A and B are shown apart, each in its own frame.
Chain A
Amino acid sequence: MRVLAAMSGGVDSAVAAARAVDAGHDVVGVHLALSRMPGTLRTGSRGCCTIEDSMDAQRAANIIGIPYYVWDFSERFKQDVVDDFIAEYSAGRTPNPCMRCNERIKFAALLEKALALGFDAVATGHYADIRTDEAGNKELHRAATWAKDQSYVLGVLNTQQLAHSMFPLGSTPSKAEVRAEAAARGFSVANKPDSHDICFIPDGDTRGWLKDKVGAEQGQILDRSGAVLGTHEGAHAFTVGQRKGLSIGYPADDGKPRFVLEVQPKTNTVVVGPKEALDLAEVAGFSYSWAGLGPVESGIASYGADDSITEFACEVQIRAHADPVAAIAFVAGGELVIRPTTPLNGVAPGQTAVVYVGTRVLGQCTIARTVSAVPAPTAQLV
């Protein structure tokens, strides 16, 4: 196959590209330029945007012996990822920009361009596994190493995208093994630190970065009954589940700590309450997709009236490194509804719920609506 290896300049994508070559594919390396202002040289991997990363990727491509190019996706990245990130926060939601980048850039804009230019697949350094069932359908599974598993951020991939994606690191037992392999191959990036932060916020200060973009105005902090407890310096600085930084100044009646339950950007209001109130009995969203065959085609559910899908057992994961929780899910009224058997804790609208069946990623939805496990004293939550 003709494979386009997306090379970030990190160790994972370099080894993935080398393995694609070893597997006999005709490989070309491409670094995605995601910013028009690459900035100054920084130490350590930030995953994107820096000249140093581009040069690291090129050096790895040289050693592997594959052609290498830099393609400019900065305009798309700004619109689809950065602007989207700001808009989501402004609307009181908590987006995952890495998922958005996978969904709109790496496995959409880049993949489409690759296919148009004659490639068969895009290979990346993600830790996830693509398997083919007996009937030839592609399935996305967790990586062999659950500690490094990145199937969560790939949950947005649909059937067509999976058919043209390749994750050569999926079956590697440990990251140490990937680093050892990189060293053995002579890659200068063998010991390059992993990237953790959001790549377009290099200092890691998301709140500070957002403050410049969305502005900050003083607003009210309320309890669940609507009583005013204090003021804040801008709702964007709060996220659901947050405990620190509320500065209310006096304790709750029961003496327990308060947590952010809800951020309401339209009224610039932050709602707080006890920890138990963060427990959710249900998360749901209209924006959902299946990674390969859906639950009906997979034989674990059936269609009901009005394109609804009957209940099926699954597991739900709400963050990249959260533990999966057993759940029941169904589709009704165009909405994917997920009811965990034990409450989910600290979920913010805008986050993605990825639905698993065993190790397989069944699909995902962007959480738009939540139902608390603990009824509010007076007003309804969300």
Chain B
Amino acid sequence: MAIYLDHAATSPMTREVLEAYTAALTLVGNPSSIHSQGQNSKRMLEEAREQVAVSLGADAVEVTFTSGGTESINLGIKGLYWAQNPAPVHPRPRVLIAAGEHHATIDAAEWLARYEGAIVEEVAIDEFGRIDLVALEAALGDDVAVLSILLANNEVGTIQPIADVAALAASRGVPVHLDAVAAYGYLPIDFHALGVAALSVSAHKIGGPVGVGALLIARSATIVPLIHGGNQQRGRSGTQDAAGAVAFGVAAREATTNIQARATALAMLRDRLIDGVQAAVPTAILRGDPVQRLSGNAHFTFPGCEGDSLLFLLDVAGFSVSTGSACQAGVPEASHVLLAMGLSEADARGALRMTVGHETTEAEVDAFVAALPAAVSGASRAGLSDRVVGMGV
């Protein structure tokens, strides 16, 4: 059985989540139906909404269930943009995103630029992936419709100084969409304390099912929906997935109960991995913020190695890890996050992300560290794919 060190890609469901999910799937009833079976489904759905709200320091009315993180992010960014720019006037054409955001954010913002005439600007991040607060302050203004930023980076694990970001944006009256998909379950999140307009999360990153997510929309915020027809939720139409919500609710409760203690324990496991890698492969360079980083995230670059070579050799050896940037058709490309952090394309291509989670053990981490040197030496031999080769020519 392969050792799974890719919790940031998706995290396995616990037995409790799976049982709640399958039990809910056996029940019939559309939450919008008026009969008793519909009402039962509605009750399950709303209990789940409350669980998700509690896990994020929000009210249930602020939780809109979606099909996942990508939809949440699209709804958050486009919905805020549209609400700030009622036709035919466009008083707030600018959209700010941090450099190195997830592609859901980058592509949604670029869509707004192409089809809605938005002016999209990236705010620089430093070598550790932290946003440049001075540049952010300079960029904020009353013509900005939305600022979208990761709470913590999904690739390199850097946690942003989000209270400072939110305070700056609030002082300039700019609505903030927070992409908390990677951070959820790994550090405490208090939606009300942050005071942001919208916040995206996804169930499968915390041990819930794929296909379920949520966008928190502050009571005070206005969002124009992406999809129309039925108005089942604030900000979204479509029959609601009660079973998916139930599973999400259980996963949310599990992932956020005693979250500080869980994160501390997980960080010890992560540090065991980081220390082990650095001892086993001294040339490896830890990327992301060394201190303010997600409790499950270890991210390195290995000079002279191609990430896909490393991934292949580790996969064959029984370890599931990531290069950090899964792209179209599974083609590994140099990470835009690492490039935004100032790495060269050659350095960025040698990236490997290991993410530990609720099922990871010390023995698994140790086994990975023991297997790594052989993979690194094999990948070094294979070298970088852009060098000139010639088979005996």
Which A residues form the contact surface with B (CB < 8 A)? 28, 33, 36, 38, 51, 54-55, 67, 69-76, 103-104, 107-109, 111-113, 116-118, 158-161, 289
Given contacts A117-B309, A161-B392, contact A73 B385 (CB under 8 A): yes
Which residues from B are CB-within-8-Å of A72? Answer: 308, 331-333, 385
Which residues from B are CB-within-8-Å of A51? Answer: 328-329
Given contacts A75-B386, A76-B386, contact A54 B381 (CB under 8 A): no
Partner of B309, one of A54, A55, A107, A113: A113
Which residues from A are CB-within-8-Å of B393? Answer: 103, 108, 158, 289
Partner of B316, one of A67, A112, A116, A159: A67
Smallest CB separation, B37 vs chain A (Å): 40
Told that A28-B312, A69-B312, A158-B391 touch, could you supply 17 new A-B pairs with CB distance under 8 A? A38-B328, A38-B329, A54-B329, A54-B330, A67-B315, A69-B308, A69-B315, A70-B329, A71-B385, A72-B331, A72-B385, A75-B385, A112-B391, A117-B378, A117-B379, A117-B381, A158-B392
Flag if A76 contacts B313 (CB, 8 Å).
no
A107–B392 Cα distance when bound, in Å, is 11
Which B residues form the contact surface with A (CB < 8 A)? 308-309, 311-313, 315-316, 328-333, 378-379, 381-383, 385-386, 389-393
Which of B312, B315, B316, B330 counts the most A-chain CB atoms under 10 A from its CB? B330
Residue of A nearest to B378 (CB): A117
Mind listing 16 A-B residue pairs with CB under 8 Å? A38-B331, A54-B330, A55-B329, A70-B329, A71-B308, A72-B333, A72-B385, A109-B389, A112-B389, A113-B383, A113-B385, A116-B309, A116-B383, A118-B378, A158-B392, A161-B391
Given contacts A116-B382, A116-B383, A118-B378, contact A36 B333 (CB under 8 A): yes
A351–B328 Cα distance when bound, in Å, is 35
Flag if A117 contacts B308 (CB, 8 Å).
no
A161–B381 Cα distance when bound, in Å, is 18
A69–B385 Cα distance when bound, in Å, is 15
Which residues from B are CB-within-8-Å of A69? Answer: 308, 311-312, 315, 330
Smallest CB separation, B322 vs chain A (Å): 13
Which of A51, A103, A107, A116 counts the most B-chain CB atoms under 10 A from its CB? A116
A111–B390 Cα distance when bound, in Å, is 10
Given contacts A54-B330, A117-B312, contact A107 B385 (CB under 8 A): no
Smallest CB separation, A241 vs chain B (Å): 30
Which residues from A are CB-within-8-Å of B333? Answer: 36, 72
| A contacts with B: majority SS | helix
Residue of B nearest to A109 (CB): B389
A117–B381 Cα distance when bound, in Å, is 8
* Count of inter-chain pairs, beta carbons less than 8 A: 81
Smallest CB separation, B320 vs chain A (Å): 12
Smallest CB separation, A131 vs chain B (Å): 20
Smallest CB separation, A56 vs chain B (Å): 11
Flag if B390 contacts A108 (CB, 8 Å).
yes
Which residues from B are CB-within-8-Å of A116? Answer: 309, 378, 381-383
A55–B328 Cα distance when bound, in Å, is 11
A54–B263 Cα distance when bound, in Å, is 39
Flag if A76 contacts B378 (CB, 8 Å).
no
Residue of B nearest to A35 (CB): B331
Smallest CB separation, A35 vs chain B (Å): 9
Flag if B391 contacts A160 (CB, 8 Å).
yes
Flag if B328 contacts A117 (CB, 8 Å).
no
Flag if B385 contacts A117 (CB, 8 Å).
no
Which of B308, B313, B391 counts the most A-chain CB atoms under 10 A from its CB? B391
Residue of A nearest to B381 (CB): A116
Flag if B391 contacts A107 (CB, 8 Å).
yes
Flag if B330 contacts A70 (CB, 8 Å).
yes
In the A-B complex, the 7 residue pairs with the smallest Cβ-Cβ separation, listed nearest first, are: A116-B382, A160-B392, A116-B381, A33-B331, A54-B329, A70-B330, A51-B329
Smallest CB separation, A6 vs chain B (Å): 14
Which residues from B are CB-within-8-Å of A74? Answer: 331
A108–B309 Cα distance when bound, in Å, is 16
Smallest CB separation, A25 vs chain B (Å): 15
A57–B312 Cα distance when bound, in Å, is 17
Residue of B nearest to A162 (CB): B391
Which residues from B are CB-within-8-Å of A28? Answer: 312, 316
Smallest CB separation, B372 vs chain A (Å): 15
Partner of B392, one of A104, A113, A159: A159
Which residues from B are CB-within-8-Å of A161? Answer: 391-392
Flag if B389 contacts A108 (CB, 8 Å).
yes
A125–B391 Cα distance when bound, in Å, is 20
A339–B332 Cα distance when bound, in Å, is 48
A33–B329 Cα distance when bound, in Å, is 9
Which residues from A are CB-within-8-Å of B389? Answer: 108-109, 112
A71–B331 Cα distance when bound, in Å, is 6
Which residues from B are CB-within-8-Å of A73? Answer: 385
Which residues from B are CB-within-8-Å of A38? Answer: 328-329, 331
Residue of A nearest to B392 (CB): A160
Which residues from B are CB-within-8-Å of A107? Answer: 391
Residue of A nearest to B375 (CB): A117
Which residues from A are CB-within-8-Å of B309? Answer: 113, 116-117
A213–B382 Cα distance when bound, in Å, is 33
Flag if A111 contacts B391 (CB, 8 Å).
yes
Which of A109, A111, A159 counts the most B-chain CB atoms under 10 A from its CB? A109
Which residues from A are CB-within-8-Å of B383? Answer: 113, 116
Which residues from B are CB-within-8-Å of A70? Answer: 308, 329-332
A121–B289 Cα distance when bound, in Å, is 42
A69–B311 Cα distance when bound, in Å, is 10
Which residues from B are CB-within-8-Å of A109? Answer: 385, 389
Residue of B nearest to A36 (CB): B333
Which of B313, B331, B332, B379 counts the most A-chain CB atoms under 10 A from its CB? B331
Which residues from B are CB-within-8-Å of A108? Answer: 389-391, 393
Which residues from A are CB-within-8-Å of B308? Answer: 69-72
A378–B381 Cα distance when bound, in Å, is 58
A159–B393 Cα distance when bound, in Å, is 10
Residue of A nearest to B309 (CB): A117
A51–B312 Cα distance when bound, in Å, is 20
A75–B384 Cα distance when bound, in Å, is 11
A256–B367 Cα distance when bound, in Å, is 79
Smallest CB separation, A352 vs chain B (Å): 15
Which residues from A are CB-within-8-Å of B311? Answer: 69
Which residues from A are CB-within-8-Å of B378? Answer: 116-118
Residue of A nearest to B313 (CB): A117
Which residues from B are CB-within-8-Å of A103? Answer: 393
Residue of A nearest to B345 (CB): A75
A107–B393 Cα distance when bound, in Å, is 11
Smallest CB separation, B339 vs chain A (Å): 14
A234–B90 Cα distance when bound, in Å, is 48
Which of B309, B383, B389 counts the most A-chain CB atoms under 10 A from its CB? B389
Flag if B382 contacts A113 (CB, 8 Å).
yes
A315–B378 Cα distance when bound, in Å, is 43
Smallest CB separation, B108 vs chain A (Å): 20
Flag if B385 contacts A76 (CB, 8 Å).
yes
